[in-house]
Amino acid sequence: MTVSILHRVTGSGMATVGVIVFLWWLGALAAGERDYARFMDLLTVKSGAPNIAGYILGIGLTLSFFQHMMTGIRHFVMDAGAAFELKANKSFAVLTVVVSVLLTAALWGYITYDQLKAAPAGNAPIAVETK
């Protein structure tokens, strides 16, 4: 029961907040280097790591996506007529939340690890821009 409202909330959230961020990002990218840097400045600190707003939006949207993805897959299974038994249904519902949290943690763990590993922008493949 609870996860079906999660599906609606995450879907609607991505369709509004997610789409605005997406358009803003693409628009700034198309507008050119200066505008893109301004966009990134709003979401990151100097090193390129996310700031508070970047983390809230980034983690919020990835968690929403994975939750919606898992409940979406649950929809597919149930449309096929499976997992209607009370117990299976309940475990599947719980599973969607567990898996989406794990995937989000894995993704952000990877991103953070990568940034630590990359250390000061020394190995950037292109000329490092200065702000």
Q: Which of residues 54-83 bind ligand HEM (CB under 6 A)?
A: 68-69, 72-73, 75
Let me know: does 66 contact 103? Beta carbons within 8 Å: yes
User: Rounded to 10 degrees, what is the CA torsion of 31, 34, 35, 36?
Assistant: 90
Query: What distances in angstroms separate CA 116 from CA 50, 92, 121, 127, one per listed residue?
Result: 13, 36, 11, 20
Q: Using the rule CB under 8 A, is 98 a contact of other proteins?
A: no
Let me know: does 33 contact 77? Beta carbons within 8 Å: no
What CA–CA distance (Å, rounded) separates 7 from 68?
5
38 interface partner picked from ligand HEM, other proteins, none, CB below 5 to 8 A per type: ligand HEM
Q: Which of 3, 63, 64, 65 binds other proteins (CB under 8 A)?
A: 65
DSSP code for 44: B
- Interacting residue ranges for ligand HEM, rule: CB under 6 A: 7-8, 11-12, 14-15, 18-20, 23-24, 27-28, 31, 35, 38, 68-69, 72-73, 75
- Interacting residue ranges for other proteins, rule: CB under 8 A: 8, 11-12, 14-15, 19, 22-23, 26-27, 29-30, 33, 36-37, 40, 44, 48, 62, 65, 69, 72-73, 75-76, 79, 107, 110-111, 114, 118, 121, 123-127, 129
